[in-house]
Amino acid sequence: MRILRIDVFDPRCRVLCALLLAGALAAARSLPGLLTGCAVPVVLFFAKGSKDLIKNLLHVNALTIAVWLVLPLTAPSGWLAGLELAFLVTCKLNLISVTLIRMVAELGIEQIDSVLIWCRVSEKMRVLLLLTARYVFLLRDRLGTMTRAIRLRAPGLRGKPLYAAFACMLGTTLIHSSDRAERSMLALNCRGGMKGFSQCRPLNWRFQDTLLCAFFAANAAAVVAVSL
């Protein structure tokens, strides 16, 4: 159930708030510090439907199994210190991930691009981001088909022949992509080149955005103060 609309806030405000709080949580060296900053991520967790977020968090937390196994065995101060550190890292990982996924990742590429324009990031970089995002979706099917073809034609392939097959598949994709890139560049030049390739979407900073920033700043300051 939706209990809070994050979408009403300006993308710049969302990115700024997320980085402030995530930075403070990353700096926290103790559990009380993390507890001070956990209220916002908990609210964000329940702010929208949590199904996709839980799926993402399960994926993120797959790594923590290794952390819980390795840190207690390798920590120089003993297994207890390792366990404490593993717990702290797991908490930080989840709190920061929820904050950044909800506030930044859910903005989408086009709004992130608008924020990058506002941050005066170079046009080359923004064009590169937009084109890469576009080609990821375009080439995904092609690479998936080729991978399926390798697995269908030689399901038992192992070792050297398998790596050779994958390398040739990637090489073929690179060659096709190179041709495609040349045609795309030609088409772009015919339409007037890269200038104005990425257009800024209208952004609207309102009083509620200032309030949200102030709240996140206070929260981040509290986390740092408790952690020190």
Partner 1 sequence: MHISEGFLSPQVLAAGWVAAGVGTAIGLKKLDPDKIVRVAVFSSVFFLASLINVPIGPSSTHLSLLAPMGLVLGWSVFPAVLVALLLQTVLLQFGGLLVLGVNTVNMALPGLIVYLLFSSRVRRGNAASSFAAGFLAIMLGALGVGTALSLSDPEMAGAAKVVFAAHLPLALVEGAVTFFMAGFLKKAAPDILN
Considering only residues 103 through 132, tell me which ones interact with partner 1, judged by CB under 8 A.
Answer: 104-105, 108-109, 112, 122, 124-125, 127-129, 131-132
- Spatial separation of the C-alpha atoms in residues 20 and 163, rounded to whole Å: 44
Options 19, 38, 43, 226; binder of partner 1; rule CB under 8 A: 19
CB-wise, 191 or 206, nearer to partner 1? Answer: 191
Options 166, 203, 217, 226; binder of partner 1; rule CB under 8 A: 166
Q: Both tokens of residue 137?
A: 């979706």
CB-wise, 59 or 201, nearer to partner 1? Answer: 59
Question: Token match 């992130």: residue?
Answer: 112
For 165, what's the count of Cα atoms within 13 Å in the CB-facing half-sphere?
A: 17
87 binds partner 1 (CB under 8 A): no
- Applying CB under 8 A, what is the total number of residues that bind partner 1? 79
Q: Computed from CA positions of residues 75, 78, 82, 88, in that sequence, does the dihedral angle turn out positive or negative?
A: negative
CB-wise, 49 or 211, nearer to partner 1? Answer: 49
Residue 83 carries which side chain, given as an amino acid letter? L
The length of the chain is 228
Cβ 96 vs Cβ 64: under 8 Å: no
> Within positions 181 to 220, which residues make up the interface with partner 1, using CB under 8 A?
181-182, 184-185, 188, 193-194
50 binds partner 1 (CB under 8 A): no
221 binds partner 1 (CB under 8 A): no
Question: Token match 């964000």: residue?
Answer: 44
Options 26, 42, 80, 154; binder of partner 1; rule CB under 8 A: 26
What are the phi and psi torsion angles at 119 (to 5°)? -80, 5
- The DSSP secondary-structure symbol of 120 reads T
> Within positions 126 to 165, which residues make up the interface with partner 1, using CB under 8 A?
127-129, 131-136, 138-140, 143, 147, 158, 160, 162-164
